[in-house]
Homo-oligomer: A and B are copies of this chain.
Amino acid sequence: MSERFGERVRGALREHGPLCVGIDPHESLLSSWGLSPDAAGAREFGVRVVEAAAGRVGVVKPQVSFFERFGAAGMAALEEVMASARAAGLIVIADAKRGDIGSTMDAYAAAWLTPGAALEADALTVSPFLGVGALEGTFSLAEAHHKGVFVLAATSNPEAAAVQRSSSHSGTTVSMSVIDEISRHNAATAGDGEWGSIGVVIGATVDWADAGISPFTPPAPILAPGFGAQGAGPADLRARYGAMVCSVIASESRSLLSAGPSGLATAIDARVAEYREASRV
């Protein structure tokens, strides 16, 4: 890819709207799809989701844990699913939430963001518990290969507050300090008027004021889980993300996947239209 990741996402969102299809081969979904609860079932599930998503949305997000559940065989299934998605022109965000320091973190970045690697994705979700600074090597590797990174910033689950809403002496919440550090990186690396390639994860049901977070520049992709089954819908997009609504990747998994293999494409089409309608308002 000759285009930086941030700009690539910007183009995909313009063309297809914000909907991102989650690839979550949860045991209950494998069962309702009539697939075996093993690596072969997860592979089949993933490939069928990719077929339904291709051409309808710009981005898919495989949930790594549901493949890792089946060990190395599950990871081999994930390799195939990601390769088929990338071959179909979809942007693949590997939702792995990896996080470590130094050469250990660099090895995770190399695993997921090196062109030609078995687990190659277009972007990786990471956790900043060891500090955003510990992710600098990952950011550099991503930028060098025109890949992306999404750093957890503010999540929707209530138990997260104890960590994410703690604050520094100056009163900045952990969530905002993560966003600030990433914005500094993006400001230093994105071209004039371009989007940054290091994005953030901000849950769809997060109240920005409660979380102590505010809009940021330069713009960068915001991965937003929590649409669909977790309660948020297209109408919430603008209410939640305000001025940053154009940057949102609205990820839905179970709400779409529960339509089953035969109904999935239709469910995606309908939801894409709803997001389009809502963004016109």
Contact = CB atoms under 8 A, between A and B. Distances in A.
Contact of A160 (B97, B131, B157, B164): B131
A73 interface: yes
Contacts of A12: none
Contacts of A159: 101, 130-134
Contacts of A152: 129-130
Nearest to A112: B68
A167 B167 contact: yes
Given A72-B76, A101-B157, A107-B68, A162 B127 contact: no
Q: Which 9 A-B pairs have the closest CB atoms?
A: A71-B118, A133-B159, A131-B159, A72-B76, A166-B166, A72-B75, A65-B107, A129-B129, A131-B160
B71 A163 contact: no
Contact of A157 (B65, B131, B177): B131
A72 B69 contact: no
Interface in A4-31: 24, 26
A195 to B, nearest CB: 24
A99 B97 contact: yes
Given A130-B160, A157-B134, A168-B166, A111 B72 contact: no
A117 B38 CA distance: 11
Interface in A100-130: 100-105, 107-108, 110-111, 117-119, 127-130
A63 interface: yes
Nearest to A70: B118
A241 interface: no
Residue in A78, A97, A108, A110 with the greatest tally of chain B CB atoms within 10 Å:
A97
A155 interface: yes
A79 interface: yes
A12 to B, nearest CB: 24
A45 interface: no
Residue in A73, A129, A155 with the greatest tally of chain B CB atoms within 10 Å:
A129
